[in-house]
Amino acid sequence: MPVTIKVIPPATILLVTGPNTGGKTVALKTAGLLAMMMQAGLRIPAEHGSRLPVFRSLFADIGDEQSIEASLSTFSAHITNIASMDRGLVTPALVLLDEVGSGTDPIEGGALGVAIVDHFRRRGATVIATSHYDQLKTYASTTEGVASAAFGFELTTFAPTYQLIYGSPGRSLALEIAGRLGLNPTVVAAARENLSAREAQLAEHLAKIDHDMRALEHEHRLAARERETLQTAEVRMQQREDALHQREETFKKRLNAELETQVRAARKEIEEVIAALKAKAEAIAHGPRLVTTGDTGKARGDARSAVDAIAARVAAGDAQSTVDNPQSISNLPSAISNVSVGSRVIVGGLGLEATVTAVHDGTADLDVRGKRMRASVRDLKVIGGQAAAPRVNVHVDLQPRETTTADLNVIGCTVDEAITRAERFLDESLLGDQRVIRLIHGYGTGQLKRALAGFLQQHPLVARFATAPPNQGGGGVTVVELKD
């Protein structure tokens, strides 16, 4: 059976007690043998993490070395060995004493054993001793730097367990062991009656201490087992958490890669639409026929429709990705729960500001500047609550404008700027009761003149328009007559 021998500083003395045949002498020999093996450079059969100091001297008094020839009794042989140890002791030293003080009167032997152990303690030696004497048990329990341990036994059979229990002196169980080894029960009973009241009380006290120590040892084992179970469960939970985190990161990376691929493809398609729009605009501008606002509007509308179709396809693809991966729903940011009808949002990836018109399972219908589109809810970032109802301010001016001019100069403007200014100028002229106006666009490439002609041809306020006479600007000016 394995045994654990502990002499932990500041303690330098270990007193081992317990029943006979319990393993005290074997433990003492084991400690000395392992110390000698270690100092000889040999590997020792000890548990990983065990530690042994290096000793300059090592002494052992174990067994019976009585000799008739040398006139040595059991007691005198022990004393001779101990005296020799004292003379040759050089610290750090290890001293092993088996049944110290035995072989003489128990009272005197106990007192002598205490004195011998304490003498070696004061000299700085590490001492492991075994004994049955009450004086030594009391000394170990009351002296600083001295630890006690006892070998355990079965409560019912008094059979040894060969396990050291630290913290309390043990019972010798001489009467119980004698009965277990077959001594006549009458003799055992007589011996029990011969115990004095003090000795019986001490035996009872030691029995109670031994019972308490066993209970504490049992609780300690249960606590250690529970701690190991909790540690195992904690490790398992940590492993599961790490696995879930890794799966979440993998899913996020895969989803981000898919989104980036879709965005890159959509950006490429949009760039192609823009390039086609530019090419078409160049073709219209240099074409043989007159350009109207219908042509330019149709081109812009076709391009916008193409871009909206690309955005809707990307959004629909992202929504399908969410459906194919239900686990991603649990990873949605908490802001998604705030998306409701009327919320103002930013569409992620496209950067468009929109108003939510309807919310479905994982998707939302949006109003983007009058255009409808559908996007995944997880791509929407709420930037405001319900959009405020638009306020319409109407200002009616019934007085005619005296300073209204009949000329509008759009030279240097782009086509869009010229059309916008012309439209506003027509409205102001009508309110100012100006029926004939002139649009000064210059000659240039003729693109501005053609664009304005297309705009005027479709405007509901224009009755007719024509190129100005030579004395009023000729081909660089268009004269417009408004309806009554």
Structural domain ending residue among the three candidates 171, 194, 217: 194
More confident: 195 or 236: 236
283 domain-assigned: yes
On whether both 185 and 160 belong to a single domain, the answer is yes
Contacts for 82-86: CB closer than 8 Å, 24+ residues apart: 82/116, 84/59, 85/59, 85/61, 85/120, 86/119, 86/120, 86/123
Tell me: do 337 and 253 sit in the same domain: no
Q: Is residue 312 part of a domain?
A: yes
Residues 261 and 285 in one domain: yes
Which range has the worst mean pLDDT, 76-85, 153-162, 220-229? Answer: 153-162
Please report which confidence band the pLDDT of residue 205 belongs to, taking 50, 70 and 90 as the band edges.
low
Q: Cis bond leading into 106, ω under 30°?
A: no
Q: CA 125, CA 57: separation in Å to the nearest integer?
A: 9
Query: Is residue 455 one of the residues assigned to a domain?
Result: yes
pLDDT of residue 470: 87
Give me the chain's average pLDDT, please.
78
- DSSP bridge partners of 146: 13
Number of domains the chain is built from: 4
Instruction: Say which CATH number the domain at 358 has.
Output: 2.30.30.520
pLDDT at 159 over 80: no
The answer to whether 173 touches 210, Cβ cutoff 8 Å, is no
pLDDT at position 173 over 70: no
Give the pLDDT confidence of 118-138 residue by residue, as tens digits: 999 999 999 999 988 888 888
Question: What pLDDT was estimated at residue 196?
Answer: 60
Residue 454 sits in a domain of what CATH number?
A: 3.30.1370.110
Does residue 206 carry a pLDDT above 70?
Answer: no
Provide the pLDDT confidence category of residue 484 given band limits of 50, 70 and 90: confident
* pLDDT at position 54 over 80: yes
In a shared domain, residues 292 and 320: yes
Q: Last residue of some domain: 194, 213, 244?
A: 194
pLDDT of residue 188 exceeding 90, the answer is no
pLDDT in tens, 443-456: 888 888 988 998 89
DSSP percent split of the chain into helix, strand, coil, nearest 5 = 50, 20, 30
Residue-wise pLDDT tens digits, 268-326? 888 887 877 777 766 665 655 544 555 555 666 666 777 777 777 666 665 454 445 44
For residue 83, pLDDT beyond 60: yes
User: End-to-end CA distance of the chain, in Å?
Assistant: 121
Residue 47: pLDDT above 50? yes
Average pLDDT rounded to a whole number, residues 68-85: 74
Task: Return d(Cα 37, Cα 6) in angstroms, integer.
Answer: 18
Mark whether 269 and 184 lie in a shared domain.
no
In this predicted structure, what is the pLDDT of residue 72?
A: 54
Same domain, 285 and 242: yes
Is the per-residue pLDDT at 396 higher than 50? no
User: Between 255 and 288, whose confidence is greater?
Assistant: 255
> Does the structure show a pLDDT above 50 at 333?
no
Rounded average pLDDT over 22-46 = 89
pLDDT band at 415 (very low <50, low <70, confident <90, very high): confident
Q: What is the CATH number of the domain that holds 163?
A: 3.40.50.300
Decide if pLDDT at 71 tops 50: no
Residue 222 within any structural domain of the chain: no
Domain match, 77 and 181 both: yes
Q: Which residues contact 182 (CB under 8 A, 6 or more apart)?
A: none
User: Average pLDDT for residues 7-24, to the nearest whole number?
Assistant: 84
Q: Residues 249, 316: one domain?
A: yes
pLDDT at residue 43 greater than cutoff 70:
yes
pLDDT in tens, 353-365: 888 898 887 888 8
User: Which residue in this structure is represented by tokens 């319409």?
Assistant: 392
Q: Phi/psi at 410 (nearest 5 deg)? A: -115, 20
Domain that holds residue 26: 13-194
Report, as an integer, the average pLDDT of 49-60.
90
Shared domain check, 261 and 343: no
How does pLDDT run across 99-123, given as a tens digit for each residue? 888 877 788 888 998 999 999 999 9
> Could you tell me if residue 373 is inside a domain?
yes
Q: Are residues 343 and 323 in the same domain?
A: no
Q: What span, in angstroms and rounded, lies between the C-alpha atoms of 180 and 20?
A: 11
Give the least confident one: 84-88, 172-176, 228-232, 424-428. Answer: 172-176
pLDDT at 104: 79
Residues 413 and 320 in one domain: no
Q: Answer yes or no: is 202 within a domain.
A: no
Tell whether 107 and 39 lie within a shared domain. yes
**401: in domain:** no
Domain boundary among 174, 194, 214: 194
Query: Per-residue confidence at 151, pLDDT binned at 50, 70, 90?
Result: confident
- What's the average model confidence in pLDDT over 375-403? 60
Strands (E), 90-183: 93-97, 126-130, 146-153, 160-166
pLDDT bracket for residue 335 (50, 70, 90) = very low
What distance in Å separates the CA atoms of residue 439 and residue 462, rounded to the nearest whole number? 13
Domain assignment of residue 402, yes or no: no
Question: With pLDDT > 70 as the criterion, what percentage of the chain qualifies?
Answer: 74
